[in-house]
Chain A
Amino acid sequence: TQLLEQSPQFLSIQEGENLTVYCNSSSVFSSLQWYRQEPGEGPVLLVTVVTGGEVKKLKRLTFQFGDARKDSSLHITAAQPGDTGLYLCAGVSGSEKLVFGKGTKLTVNP
């Protein structure tokens, strides 16, 4: 069974701070996705990373895929209250299934 471990599980910060959340596995994934989920809604795709070492930027969000394609990180610069939500990483396994981590619940306080 392929597992994705996310850390931290909970993160509460003040507006303007920077943060990084991590997604780690002992398994190799062909690609990895990051989603954000807000209360009462379904997850929404933020980015997909495919190549080992790949870095993608989405405004203040920077996503990195590890060289060995086993881990990923999400860095948010100058966090805003609108960034509050549950951040989920999901890896694509060899059987073409999405395997989700348990998420990082981020709260950005004004």
Chain B
Amino acid sequence: DTAVSQTPKYLVTQMGNDKSIKCEQNLGHDTMYWYKQDSKKFLKIMFSYNNKELIINETVPNRFSPKSPDKAHLNLHINSLELGDSAVYFCASSPGTANTEAFFGQGTRLTVV
């Protein structure tokens, strides 16, 4: 069974479109994250939720809106996609905010054309 699963794995879309990426974890963890990995492989945190509450919100354009319907799910909606949004987006989870060892999903490669 996949511990942290995100869909889709690949997403190609045109500039200006709105798209969503979904993430689910079956590890029973309290905390979930979205990370962005750029073309140079630099991995940077975007958001963190603990028990459905937003606890970390980095300097991310407000076109990006995370939503956590329950503590096992964290989705990412992106409005008005731009070329610079092209990257690999990783969902991750960890047992709690004090224990930040993260378990990552396989990533969603977003390409904006």
Contacts and interface: CB of A to CB of B under 8 A. Distances in A.
A98 B103 contact: no
B66 interface: no
A92 interface: yes
A48 B90 CA distance: 20
Given A40-B106, A40-B107, A41-B106, 13 more contacts: A42-B90, A42-B107, A43-B43, A43-B102, A43-B104, A48-B101, A95-B56, A97-B48, A97-B56, A98-B45, A100-B43, A103-B41, A103-B43
B104 A42 contact: yes
A92 B97 CA distance: 11
Interface residues of B, number: 21
A86 B41 contact: yes
B102 A45 contact: yes
Interface in A72-88: 86, 88
A98 B42 contact: no
Interface of B: 4, 40-45, 48, 56, 90, 92, 97-98, 100-107
A25 B106 CA distance: 28
Given A96-B98, A97-B48, A97-B56, A44 B42 contact: no
A33 interface: yes
Interface in A29-61: 31, 33, 37, 40-45, 48
Contacts of B48: 97
A102 B43 CA distance: 7
A52 to B, nearest CB: 18
